[in-house]
Amino acid sequence: MNDYVHFIYQVTKNFPKHELYGITSQIRRAAMSIILNYIEGYARKKPLVRLNFLEISYGSLKESKYILHFSLIEKYLNIEDYKFGLKLAEEIGAMLWKEVENLDKATDSRK
């Protein structure tokens, strides 16, 4: 996750200045939200609360992936950076989804 956030911050340094308060700010916020919600979730004791934060983290990942794709189409990103960012995002997504599913199953068994 950390690598993805730093990647996003690095590539967005080259985004157009007119996007500073638009797409640049949005993708940075979404990327940072992935790791911050993940951390906050693991700081929570109750499994259902933890699950909620992990789901928010996953949603932020999906948001950032769309903006990554949008940035490629708008030619703010080159194809190599896009593929690298997408690879990092896919790895995070697989890990997060597995954790969400496992925690979801564990909380279902408590009901």
pLDDT exceeds 80 at position 64: yes
pLDDT exceeds 90 at position 73: yes
pLDDT exceeds 70 at position 13: yes
The predicted-structure confidence for 40-63, as pLDDT tens digits, reads as follows 999 998 999 999 999 999 999 999
Please give the average per-residue pLDDT across 61-77, as a whole number. 98
How many domains, in total, are found in the chain? 1
Domain that holds residue 9: 2-109
Contacts 24+ apart (CB under 8 A), 84-92: 84/7, 85/4, 85/7, 85/8, 85/11, 88/3, 88/4, 88/7, 89/4, 89/61, 89/64, 89/65, 92/1, 92/4, 92/34, 92/61
Where is pLDDT greater, at 42 or 10? 10
At 109 the pLDDT is 59
- Assign residue 84 the CATH number of its domain: 1.20.1440.60
The mean pLDDT value of the chain amounts to 95
Model-level pTM? 0.91
At 83 the pLDDT is 99
The predicted-structure confidence for 81-98, as pLDDT tens digits, reads as follows 999 999 999 999 999 999
CA separation for the pair 68, 85 (Å, rounded) = 8
